[in-house]
Amino acid sequence: MKELLEAGKVVPVIDRRYPLSEVAEALRYLEEGHARGKVVITLVEYL
Protein backbone atom coordinates (compact mmCIF):
# COMPACT_ATOMS: atom_id res chain seq x y z
CA MET A 1 0.00 0.00 0.00
CA LYS A 2 2.84 2.36 0.85
CA GLU A 3 4.32 1.97 -2.62
CA LEU A 4 0.96 2.61 -4.29
CA LEU A 5 0.42 5.76 -2.23
CA GLU A 6 3.92 7.03 -2.97
CA ALA A 7 3.47 6.33 -6.68
CA GLY A 8 0.20 8.29 -6.69
CA LYS A 9 -1.81 5.26 -7.81
CA VAL A 10 -4.00 5.39 -4.71
CA VAL A 11 -5.31 8.78 -3.68
CA PRO A 12 -7.46 9.20 -0.57
CA VAL A 13 -10.50 11.40 -1.15
CA ILE A 14 -11.87 13.49 1.71
CA ASP A 15 -15.43 14.55 1.03
CA ARG A 16 -16.04 16.68 4.12
CA ARG A 17 -14.56 17.56 7.49
CA TYR A 18 -16.67 18.08 10.59
CA PRO A 19 -15.58 19.29 14.03
CA LEU A 20 -16.24 16.92 16.91
CA SER A 21 -19.16 19.11 18.00
CA GLU A 22 -20.96 18.27 14.70
CA VAL A 23 -20.68 14.47 14.77
CA ALA A 24 -24.47 14.09 14.57
CA GLU A 25 -24.55 16.12 11.34
CA ALA A 26 -21.66 14.07 9.91
CA LEU A 27 -23.51 10.83 10.65
CA ARG A 28 -26.68 12.21 9.05
CA TYR A 29 -24.66 13.11 5.95
CA LEU A 30 -23.29 9.56 5.76
CA GLU A 31 -26.65 7.89 6.39
CA GLU A 32 -28.28 9.91 3.61
CA GLY A 33 -25.75 8.50 1.15
CA HIS A 34 -24.26 11.84 0.10
CA ALA A 35 -20.62 11.05 0.82
CA ARG A 36 -18.41 10.54 -2.24
CA GLY A 37 -15.27 10.06 -0.16
CA LYS A 38 -14.21 9.88 3.45
CA VAL A 39 -15.89 11.99 6.09
CA VAL A 40 -13.38 13.20 8.67
CA ILE A 41 -14.11 14.21 12.26
CA THR A 42 -11.58 16.75 13.49
CA LEU A 43 -10.69 16.96 17.15
CA VAL A 44 -9.14 20.43 16.97
CA GLU A 45 -10.26 23.27 14.75
CA TYR A 46 -7.56 25.51 13.35
CA LEU A 47 -8.27 29.17 12.77
State the pLDDT at residue 18: 95
Report the distance separating Cα 26 and Cα 41, nearest Å. Answer: 8
State the pLDDT at residue 22: 95
- Hey, is 5 helix, strand or coil? helix
- Hey, is 2 helix, strand or coil? helix
pLDDT digits (tens, 9 = 90+) for 6-44: 999 998 899 999 999 999 999 999 999 988 899 999 998
Selected residue with higher pLDDT from 45 and 30:
30
State the pLDDT at residue 46: 60
Q: Domain extents for the chain?
A: 11-47
The secondary structure of 11-47 as a DSSP string is ---EEEEEEGGGHHHHHHHHHTT--SSEEEEESS---
What does pTM read for this prediction?
0.68
Q: Is residue 45 over pLDDT 80?
A: no
Q: What is the CA radius of gyration of the chain?
A: 13
